[in-house]
Amino acid sequence: MAEYNLPLPSMGESIAEATIIRWLKEEGESVKKEDLLVEIATDKVDSEISSPVNGILKKKLFAPNEVAQVGSFIAILEIEEKFSLEDIPIERSKKRFYSPLVRTIAQKEGINFYELETIEGTGEKGRVTKKDILKYIHIKNNTICIPKDNSVKIKNININSKNEEIIEMDRMRKITAEHMVNSKNISVHVTSFVEADVTNIVKWRKKMKDSFQKKTGEKLTLMSVFVECVVKAIKDLPMINISVNGTNIIKKRNIHIGLATALPNGNLIVPVIKNADSYNLVGLIKIINDLIKRAKSNQLKPEEIKGGTYTISNIGSFGNLFGTPIIHQPQVAIMAIGLIQKKLSIIETPKGDLIGIRHKIYLSHSYDHRVIDGILGGCFAKKVALYLEKFNCCTKI
Q: Helix (H, G, I), strand (E, B), or coil: what is residue 140?
A: helix
| Positive or negative: CA dihedral 185, 187, 193, 196 | negative
Task: Give buried/exposed letters for 53-79 (b at 16+ CB in 10 A, else e).
Answer: bbbbbbebebeeeebbebbeebbbbbb
| Positive or negative: CA dihedral 115, 120, 126, 131 | negative
Q: How far is residue 12's CA from residue 305's CA, in Å, rounded to a whole number? A: 8
Residue 369 appears among annotated catalytic residues: yes
Q: Is residue 102 within 8 Å of 89, Cβ to Cβ?
A: no
Give backbone dihedrals phi and psi of 336, rounded to 5 degrees, phi first: -105, 130
Q: How far is residue 367's CA from residue 374's CA, in Å, rounded to a whole number? A: 9
Give backbone dihedrals phi and psi of 103, rounded to 5 degrees, phi first: -65, -40
DSSP state at residue 85: G
Catalytic residue among 87, 170, 210, 373: 373
Burial of 160 (0-12, 13-18, 19+ CB in 10 A): exposed
Angle, in degrees to the nearest 10, between helices 130-141 and 100-108: 20
DSSP state at residue 11: -
Q: How far is residue 268's CA from residue 17's CA, in Å, rounded to a whole number? A: 19
Q: Of the candidates 305, 243, 259, 275, which has an alpha carbon nearest to the alpha carbon of residue 122?
A: 275
Q: How far is residue 50's CA from residue 133's CA, in Å, rounded to a whole number? A: 22
Q: Helix (H, G, I), strand (E, B), or coil: what is residue 87?
A: helix
Nearest-5° Cα angle at 288, 369 to 318: 65
Catalytic residue among 46, 197, 277, 369: 369
Q: Helix (H, G, I), strand (E, B), or coil: what is residue 395?
A: coil
One-letter amino acid at 88 equals I
Q: Of the candidates 141, 115, 147, 110, which has an alpha carbon nearest to the alpha carbon of residue 128?
A: 115
Q: Helix (H, G, I), strand (E, B), or coil: what is residue 199?
A: helix
One-letter amino acid at 86 equals E
List active site positions. Answer: 369, 373
